[in-house]
Amino acid sequence: MLEIRDLYYTVTDAGGPNGSAKRNIIDGINFTFETGKFYAVTGPNGSGKTTLARLIMGIHPLSSGSIRFEGRDITNLTITERARAGIAYSFQQPARFKGITFRDLLAIAGGTEEEARLLALIRRVGICSLSFLDQPVDAKLSGGEIKKIELATTIARNPKLAIYDEPDTGIDLWTIGPMVDLLKREQAEHGATTIVVSHNRAFLEAADVVLMVNRGKITYLGNLDGALPMLTDLSVCGFKPCGEGERDARCFR
Ligand SMILES: Nc1ncnc2c1ncn2[C@@H]1O[C@H](COP(=O)(O)OP(=O)(O)O)[C@@H](O)[C@H]1O
Ligand SMILES: [Mg+2]
């Protein structure tokens, strides 16, 4: 349903020892996401997970490569056009808006102001408090509350492809299990293809396919069991001497 071909995202790092140097944040990714499957994307901090998710949504323009969604070339479509085609993106750090309530956001996302439909939506995402609907989505919300709102507005769009960037950030430990169940239910009942960027074991266990990204490349593809030795390895800080011309924060001279 989503075909990524030879995807590159290249930036220029200014101020290096040799002046400006180009760096591939996404370094030649090829992958096909299949309809209705649940994918977990994991990997070390700074490996390119958020960038990959943003390239799919069209938030960053890709440097080269192509993206097809349901057989259609979406490489040059805007975010809005991709959203209309059925792709939704949930931010790692959601925006807060002065003067806007959760009800407003949900109404825009769900395309309805009808009270019964909004209530059905908040019930669907496990928010059981009516007063929560009239919460302003501003700086006073906790990190966990804002992530729940972000999740709810993503689900309200009934996307064909839902991308969640670290949905568990700031969420209390007790909410993670129900959140995994919710995303699995959306997959099962609405046939949503789901991509979750996460380090959380609960999401990795729930996934049909785990993709590990390291330095802009897919370095592992399979189930969690096969990924575990690599995940353990990544959690160890392995500094090594730099090779000739090598520029890397994990090597020393
Ligand atoms: N526009 C940009 N210009 C320069 N560097 C960037 C840009 N966007 C991302 N990066 C860098 O790319 C790397 C990958 O970032 P990101 O995709 O956010 O990683 P992850 O989500 O895996 O932690 C990081 O080192 C980040 O600083
Ligand atoms: Mg990230």
Domains belonging to the chain, first-starting first, are 2-252 (3.40.50.300)
pTM: 0.85
> Atom 1 in ligand 1: which residue has the minimum CA distance?
11
Q: Which atom of ligand 1 sits closest to the CA of residue 54? A: 17
Residue 165 CA to ligand 2 center (angstroms) comes to: 7
> Atom 12 in ligand 1: which residue has the minimum CA distance?
25
pLDDT tens sequence across 24-33:
999 999 999 9
Rounded to the nearest 5 percent, the helix, strand and coil shares of the chain are 35, 30, 35
- List, as ranges, residues with CB under 5 A of the ion ligand 2: 50
Question: pLDDT > 70: what percent of the chain?
Answer: 91
Q: Which atom of ligand 1 sits closest to the CA of residue 25? A: 12
Residue 48 CA to ligand 1 center (angstroms) comes to: 6
Residue 77 CA to residue 91 CA, distance in Å, equals 19
φ, ψ for residue 52, nearest 5 deg: -60, -45
Q: 153: closest CA among 162, 166, 140?
A: 162
Region of 243 on the Ramachandran plot (φ > 0 left; ψ -120 to 50 alpha; else beta): beta
Average pLDDT over residues 5-16: 86
* Token digits of residue 245: 């011309």
Confidence category of residue 236, pLDDT binned at 50, 70, 90:
low
Residue 41 CA to ligand 1 center (angstroms) comes to: 15
pLDDT greater than 60 at residue 237 = no
Q: Are 126 and 178 in contact (CB under 8 A)?
A: yes
pLDDT tens sequence across 103-160:
888 888 888 888 888 888 888 777 777 888 888 888 787 777 788 888 888 888 889 9
* Token digits of residue 252: 């020393």
Residue 228 CA to residue 155 CA, distance in Å, equals 30
> Atom 26 in ligand 1: which residue has the minimum CA distance?
46
Count CB neighbours of 124 within 10 A: 16
Q: What is the DSSP letter of 15?
A: E
> Atom 24 in ligand 1: which residue has the minimum CA distance?
46
Chain position carrying tokens 């995807």: 7
Residue 239 is predicted with a pLDDT of 61
Residue 197 CA to ligand 1 center (angstroms) comes to: 14
Question: pLDDT > 90: what percent of the chain?
Answer: 41
Higher pLDDT, 159 or 96: 159
pLDDT tens sequence across 43-56:
988 999 999 999 99
Residue type at position 173: L
In 17-153, at which residue ranges do the beta strands (DSSP E only) sit? 19-33, 38-42, 64-69, 72-73, 87-90
Mean pLDDT, all residues of the chain: 86
Q: What is the DSSP letter of 229?
A: H
Residue 19 is predicted with a pLDDT of 64
| 2-16, 58-72, 156-170, 172-186: range with lowest mean pLDDT | 172-186
Torsion of CA 59, 63, 64, 69, to 10 degrees: 0
Q: Which residues line ligand 1 (CB under 6 A)?
A: 11, 25, 43, 45-51
Residue 145 is predicted with a pLDDT of 79
Q: Are 163 and 87 in contact (CB under 8 A)?
A: yes
Higher pLDDT, 146 or 75: 75
Residue 25 CA to ligand 1 center (angstroms) comes to: 6
Nearest ligand, CA of residue 164?
Answer: 2
Higher pLDDT, 239 or 8: 8
Residue 231 is predicted with a pLDDT of 74
- Give the total residue count for the chain: 253
Residue 238 is predicted with a pLDDT of 58
Write the CA distances from 31 to 4, 46, 52, 184, 226, integer angstroms: 5, 20, 11, 22, 19
Residue 250 is predicted with a pLDDT of 65
pLDDT greater than 90 at residue 186 = no
Which alpha helices (DSSP H) does 167-218 contain, by range?
Answer: 173-190, 201-206
